[in-house]
Chains A and B, each alone.
Chain A
Amino acid sequence: MTGSERNLPASRPIRVQVVEDLVRVQTLLREIIEEPGRLEVAGMSDNEEAALRQFETLQPDAVVIDLALRSGTGLGLIQSIRRQQGERRPLLIVLTNYTQPTIASACLKAGADHFLDKSRDFMKVRKLLDQVP
């Protein structure tokens, strides 16, 4: 069965960094994302500067990014991550309530892979992470 094959534990879990300023949403994202042996939340931060430092240390496979942060912005973080890209290209998923076309366009041009509406597409985060090779 292809479904059960896809659910086989990978040799190493996919490491996800979450950048989100609201504790409640951080908790919710952890619940949605974590699956022992397969997906792990390797780091959590609530501002741009701390998130960038954490990214450099962790080198995660994927980053889920809120745009409005305690300080700085998710857009600034996307730009910094894409500037210092190494041989591996992490998946960048924006999850935000700021869904104006101008902001979406800026994020995608800056290098985000997906732009999700927090009020509508919350569960899509997990689907996208499941597709990480």
Chain B
Amino acid sequence: MNGQRSDIIIRLGLFDDHDIVRAGFRYVLEEHSDIQIVAEGASAREALDAVRSTPMHVCVIDLSLPDLSGMDVLRQVRVTHPEVAVLILSAYSEEQYGLNVLKAGASGFLSKDLAPAQLVDAVRSVAAGRRYVSPKLAELLASGLTSDLDQPVHAKLSEREFQIFSKLAVGKSVSEIANELCLSAKTVSTYRARLLQKMHFKTNADLTQYAVRNQLIQ
């Protein structure tokens, strides 16, 4: 073999406000010659500055930083540097945050009790463009035990979306609903499209079936 793979160094940023957490992670990661820590800091501001100024493949960010939350940093990095894979680190459980973090565009969720080998696996996976889902989170997702999946689909709708959903489900037309709510037909159509998308449905008949099944209409 030509040994080319060993030339690929994963450039990594590490942001956590606990010095000892960073020191521990740095010690474990730097034992691997394919991983290099190129930036480090204790705040969201430092993380955002580093992503802007220092080319990196992977950025590990604590969910609870003293200034902004790790989620805020994640959202900004997704927009400004979509090529950087973000791993969110948290002392909170995967049940509470795992799925939401992935949905917000993170490449993976790292609970602080993960084993050193899992940390290294996660960094390599996301650097290669894949998502990292820990075995525990995969199991939770499979059995529907994350907080997000516990909610019924209609609970994700805004108040206005739910109001329009209820009227569509009982067979009212877009123009009838527009009249009742003093909205334009175009606005009601926009709400309709948005709620269908959120609920992964295609037609008004789907909405009616769902409403009956979930006892939302008699």
Q: Show the binding face of A for B, using Cβ within 8 Å.
A: 67-68, 72-76, 96, 98, 100-103, 105-107, 109-110
Are B19 and A106 in touch, CB under 8 angstroms? no
Are B115 and A101 in touch, CB under 8 angstroms? yes
Mark each residue of chain B from 104 to 138: 1 if its CB lies under 8 Å from any CB of chain A, else 0: 00000000111110010000000000000000000
Are A67 and B20 in touch, CB under 8 angstroms? yes
Main secondary structure of the interface of A (DSSP, over half): helix
With A100-B112, A101-B115 given, is the CB distance from A106 to B28 under 8 Å? yes
With A100-B112, A102-B116 given, is the CB distance from A109 to B27 under 8 Å? yes
Bound-state Cα–Cα, A105 to B21, Å: 12
Let me know if B25 is at the binding interface, CB within 8 A.
yes
Are B112 and A105 in touch, CB under 8 angstroms? no
Let me know if B24 is at the binding interface, CB within 8 A.
yes
Q: Show the binding face of B for A, using Cβ within 8 Å.
A: 18-21, 23-25, 27-28, 31, 112-116, 119
Given contacts A73-B23, A98-B18, A109-B31, 8 further A-B contacts (CB under 8 A): A68-B20, A74-B20, A75-B27, A98-B21, A101-B116, A102-B25, A105-B28, A109-B27
7 residue pairs A–B, Cβ–Cβ below 8 Å:
A76-B23, A96-B20, A101-B116, A102-B112, A102-B114, A106-B23, A109-B31
Bound-state Cα–Cα, A73 to B25, Å: 13
Are A103 and B20 in touch, CB under 8 angstroms? yes
Are B119 and A73 in touch, CB under 8 angstroms? no
Give the chain B neighbours of A110 by CB distance below 8 A. Answer: 27
Bound-state Cα–Cα, A67 to B116, Å: 18
Bound-state Cα–Cα, A122 to B116, Å: 25
Are B24 and A75 in touch, CB under 8 angstroms? yes
Residue of A nearest to B25 (CB): A102
A102 → chain B closest CB, angstroms: 5
Bound-state Cα–Cα, A117 to B119, Å: 22
With A109-B27, A110-B27 given, is the CB distance from A102 to B20 under 8 Å? no
Residue of B nearest to A76 (CB): B23
Are A98 and B20 in touch, CB under 8 angstroms? yes
Give the chain B neighbours of A103 by CB distance below 8 A. Answer: 20-21, 23-24
B164 → chain A closest CB, angstroms: 47
- Of A67, A75, A102, A107, the residue contacting B119 (CB under 8 A) is A102
Give the chain A neighbours of B21 by CB distance below 8 A. Answer: 98, 100, 103
Bound-state Cα–Cα, A73 to B21, Å: 10
With A75-B27, A76-B23, A100-B24 given, is the CB distance from A105 to B18 under 8 Å? no
Are B18 and A68 in touch, CB under 8 angstroms? yes
